[in-house]
């Protein structure tokens, strides 16, 4: 797992964060649902690809529940299956 803090992206735009994740073939995990879902639609409309996104509301799930849901998603979805997809963590309970 890589965080925006780890790689110095905290002050970068959402677009720059998604570009970094894409370049490093990382699925992006964020609480910023509206901005990143909009960005996903823009990228897909423009024919751009990304490694996938997992979106959730902040403080909706405990850290443990977030991890359980991410692991459930991970065991049923391949990296290729996540490409250009958006998954809502709330759907993985």
Please indicate, yes or no, whether the overall pTM of this predicted structure exceeds 0.85.
yes
Asked whether the predicted pLDDT for residue 77 surpasses 90, the reply is: yes
**Could you tell me the strand order of the sheet in which 86-88 lies?**
28-30, 53-55, 86-88
Domain positions in the chain: 14-92
Task: Say how many C-beta atoms besides its own lie within 10 A of residue 92's C-beta.
Answer: 20
Task: List pLDDT tens digits, range 13-56.
Answer: 999 999 999 999 999 999 999 999 999 999 999 999 999 999 99
- pLDDT on residue 1: 84
Give me Rg for the CA atoms of the chain.
Answer: 13
Report residue 75 as tokens.
Answer: 């065991």
Kind and range of the H or E run holding 28: strand 28-30
- pLDDT on residue 49: 97
- pLDDT on residue 52: 98
- pLDDT on residue 90: 96
């Amino acid at each position: 797992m890589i965080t925006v803090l780890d790689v110095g992206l905290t002050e970068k735009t959402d677009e720059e964060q998604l570009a970094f994740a894409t370049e490093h073939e990382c699925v992006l995990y964020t609480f910023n649902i509206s901005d990143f879902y909009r960005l996903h639609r823009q990228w897909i409309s423009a024919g751009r690809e990304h490694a996938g996104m997992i979106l959730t509301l902040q403080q909706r799930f405990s850290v443990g529940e977030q991890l359980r849901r991410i692991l459930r998603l991970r065991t049923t979805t391949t990296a290729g299956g996540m490409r250009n997809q958006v998954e809502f963590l709330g759907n993985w309970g």
